[in-house]
Structure 1
Amino acid sequence: MKKVNTEMDDELRPEYDLRSLRVRKLGPERKSFGGAIVRLEPDVAEVFPNSESVNEMLRFLIRISREKKLAFPTTGADCQ
């Protein structure tokens, strides 16, 4: 069996060495470069099929709380 040569012959100048570049991940594991990321607990995530449904429910709760003049805690210490 013949050994495959992994080095490519090209005319790229040495100063353009692309081997040091990082590969950008694609798909859901990709890091987002904008917006907030919120992780849901597994039991909560079971109820919502996608982020759109989570946002819809949160907007509903915000609207109801404003109508009822309820205040949601803004810090983690107040949530306990």
Structure 2
Amino acid sequence: MSNIDDDMKDEYDPALFDSAEVGKYAERLRQASNVVIVEPDVAAAFPNNAAVNNALRELLKLAKQVNVPNHA
């Protein structure tokens, strides 16, 4: 038995997953996702995602005031 079998709940049949393709949709998810990974020191400065979004919105406002070009 593999680790997957050991971790699987008893009500699931491991044979159903034998033909599963690992990462089949990973690239599609990467292309459609807008998840941004921040470094731990940056993440530590914000208590939650709302605080990050608010800080970025304020930064965008400041950038517009000083006419910083958008490099998106």
- Greater length-normalized contact order (CA 8 Å, ≥ 6 residues apart): 2
- CA-based RMSD: 2.7
Distance in 2 of aligned mates of 1:19 and 1:71? 49
Q: Please report how far the alpha carbon of residue 36 of structure 1 lies from its aligned counterpart in structure 2 after TM superposition.
A: 1.1
Partner of 1:64: 62
Q: Runs of at least 4 residues of structure 1 off by over 3 A?
A: none
Distance in 1 of aligned mates of 2:62 and 2:46? 19
Residues 43 and 69 of structure 1, relative CA distance in 2, 3 Å threshold:
same
Distance in 2 of aligned mates of 1:42 and 1:50? 13
Distance in 1 of aligned mates of 2:47 and 2:69? 27
Which amino acid in 1 is paired with 2:39? Answer: E
Q: Please report how far the alpha carbon of residue 70 of structure 1 lies from its aligned counterpart in structure 2 after TM superposition.
A: 1.6
State, as a whole percentage, how many aligned pairs show the same letter.
33
Distance in 2 of aligned mates of 1:44 and 1:19? 39
Runs of at least 5 residues in structure 1 that lack an aligned partner in the other structure: 1-17, 21-32, 76-80
Partner of 1:12: none
TM-score (norm 1): 0.46
Runs of at least 5 residues in structure 2 that lack an aligned partner in the other structure: 1-15, 19-28
Structure showing greater Rg: 1
TM-score (norm 2): 0.51
